[in-house]
Amino acid sequence: MKRILLIVGPTAVFIDSVRVITNISSGRLGFLLYSRLKENYDVDLLVSSSTCFDWPRDARRFFTADELFSLIKSLDGGYDLAVNLAAISDFRVRSFSPDKLPSDRAYSIELVPREKFWPYLLDISEALVLFKLEPSLYLAEKEAQQLCSRSGKIRFVVANSLEEGNYKGKIVFEDHCSGVISGREEMARQISIQIKDILGG
């Protein structure tokens, strides 16, 4: 049975001992995709503890981007496909406060770019499917096209947006893309079709 690594959900970045910066990912698309893949593939799950779906007990959990990086770096590899649907923070906080910051004053928080994680997936998987979320689908598609060109192992990128509160996406390949896909259930179905084309089953 082919092995898939599926990474799902938001990540958090601590700014002090109790407060975080996070993102709006719910993990729902990942859960819908897992529900379609689990019968035909051996799926290893890395799942954000911020999601609230009925994941299997053996799913490995993360909360922060650092925890997810550590999990990825600890994996032995041997995956036929790695699918990242996690919304991983692009930044870290330069000066983290180990104490709770008093709430009666103003602060400036400096964010610095974080090392990209997906190159680590190249070492543990034969192929990759990645995820790009932007404010508009147009921007997401452009960013996804650029990402597809970075490595031949990247089979496609799921471009996502939540314009006007409604989920829309496209499946983007290096030289073409799908039409607009509305709704997470339909997107999960379309991704599963593409994965079957890649892996069989």
pLDDT at 201 > cutoff 80? no
Q: Per residue in 97-152, pLDDT tens?
A: 899 999 999 989 999 999 888 999 999 999 999 999 999 999 999 999 999 999 99
Angle (CA) 131-136-137 rounded to 5° is 55
Q: Per residue in 137-191, pLDDT tens?
A: 999 999 999 999 999 999 999 999 987 778 999 999 999 999 999 999 999 999 9
Instruction: Supply the DSSP string of 110-142, one letter for each residue.
Output: -EEEPPPSHHHHHTTBS-EEEEEE-SSHHHHHH
- The chain-wide mean pLDDT, for the chain, equals 93
Q: What is the CATH number of the domain that holds 153?
A: 3.40.50.10300
For 10, half-sphere exposure in the C-beta direction (CA atoms, 13 angstrom radius) is: 13
Number of H helices, E strands in the chain: 5, 12
Element (H, E) at 71: helix 65-74
Element (H, E) at 172: strand 168-172
Q: According to the model, what pLDDT value does residue 9 have?
A: 94
Rounded (10°) angle between helices 28-37 and 184-199: 40
Range of the domain at 156: 3-199
- φ, ψ for residue 81, nearest 5 deg: -155, 135
Dihedral angle computed from the Cα positions of residues 112, 13, 59 and 132, in that order, rounded to the nearest 10 degrees: -50
Q: How many domains does the chain have?
A: 1
Q: According to the model, what pLDDT value does residue 163 have?
A: 79
Decide if 89 contacts 65 (C-beta within 8 A). yes
Decide if 40 contacts 201 (C-beta within 8 A). yes
Q: Taking residues 19-45, what's their average pLDDT?
A: 94
Q: According to the model, what pLDDT value does residue 82 have?
A: 98
3-state secondary structure of 179: coil
